[in-house]
Amino acid sequence: MNIKRIFSYLALLLILLPQVCSAQKHICKYCDTGISSKFIEVEGDYYHPEHFLCAECKKQIEGSYAKNADNFYHPSCYKKIFHSKCDVCSATLEGEYFVDLYGNKYHPEHLQENSRCDNCDRIICENITGGGKQLNDGRNLCNLCLENSVKSNSSYKFLLNKLIDRLRGLGLNIDTKNLSIIPVDRTGLKSAAGAMYSDNLKGFCKISSGSGSVNGRKFTEENTTIYVLDNIPPIYIEATLAHELMHVWLHQNTKNNQTDQLKEGSCHYISYLYLKSVNDKTAHLISKMMLSDTNPVYGGGLRKVIEKFSGKYLVELLNYLKKNTSL
């Protein structure tokens, strides 16, 4: 869960009652003139009652006040400016509340009442995501993700070619012969991945070899298919493609006998490097989400690979993967 528990500083609200006293020889702190009739004393300073003003609305404060730094406020004005509002229901946040990766703040109860987007993890509601819906495959997707999702099959091919090019730029060369991409829903991903399926899987790479003969000469040929989830925006598909293309590279260039942690950590690392090379807010957030993933294989593997290889040439990791099976 990529959300933080926060305690609102509502608890710091001071409600103090100023004293109204009868005239003595005091100077009003506000207007700097002598006070000949009633005055009020606040924390050792004196004011004409009509000169003890709220820093927010500039009107006289009668009765209790709240203080922040050296400023005084009506308690209601204080509440208005210093208390955060819930991004789901717009009511004031008091006590414990949550903040997600995107900076949205909300009451804890909304986590029970609302579902979260299976793609971006935002809480699905009118104010934050403009609503959302549940797809036939069971995924809850917010409207921000749905509205920006990839629509046509040719766009998926375009993204695959783009990623192959970009990864080559980062130093990862993939043999693209018989490589294809198929967008699927969660049900399709489930049947492609079989026993390897889990609900946080976003893509899957299947390599099958077939044999045949041409003019009496036998040959075996490999077909590589990358399955990616549909109905989500391009940058999420790109992150998944970078991961899956690294699986293809591992298959083509190593014995592919690394531990799951080294394998998935390295695939995540390629995705992480790609996302870092993209100057985009969402890309940055996805890499943050990957880094904070508590899964020991994916998040844990990524953190270990970063620790060992970040700042080095990619070829060092690639050579390591050819010779080693674990981190």
Name the segment binding Zn ion (CB under 5 A); options: 3-11, 13-21, 56-64, 189-197. Answer: 56-64
89 belongs to the binding site for Zn ion (CB under 5 A): yes
Between 54 and 174, name the residue whose CB sits nearer to Zn ion: 54
Which element (helix H / strand E) includes 237?
A: helix 234-253
Which element (helix H / strand E) includes 98?
A: strand 96-100
**What minimum distance in Å lies between the beta carbon of 248 and Zn ion?**
11
- How far, CA to CA in Å, does 88 sit from each of 85, 166, 257? 9, 38, 47
Between 79 and 308, name the residue whose CB sits nearer to Zn ion: 79
Query: Could you tell me if 110 and 88 are in contact, meaning their C-beta atoms sit under 8 angstroms apart?
Result: yes
**What minimum distance in Å lies between the beta carbon of 216 and Zn ion?**
39
Site for Zn ion in 124-143 (CB under 5 A): 142
* Phi and psi based region of residue 256 (left: phi greater than 0; alpha: psi -120 to 50; beta: remaining): left
**What minimum distance in Å lies between the beta carbon of 107 and Zn ion?**
4
* Residue 281, C-beta contacts closer than 8 angstroms, at least 6 positions apart: none
308 belongs to the binding site for Zn ion (CB under 5 A): no
**What minimum distance in Å lies between the beta carbon of 284 and Zn ion?**
16
102 belongs to the binding site for Zn ion (CB under 5 A): no
The residue with tokens 């986590």 is: 111
202 belongs to the binding site for Zn ion (CB under 5 A): no
268 belongs to the binding site for Zn ion (CB under 5 A): no
Binding site residues, Zn ion, CB under 5 A: 28, 30-31, 48, 51, 54, 56-57, 74, 77, 86, 88-89, 107, 117, 119-120, 142, 145, 264, 267
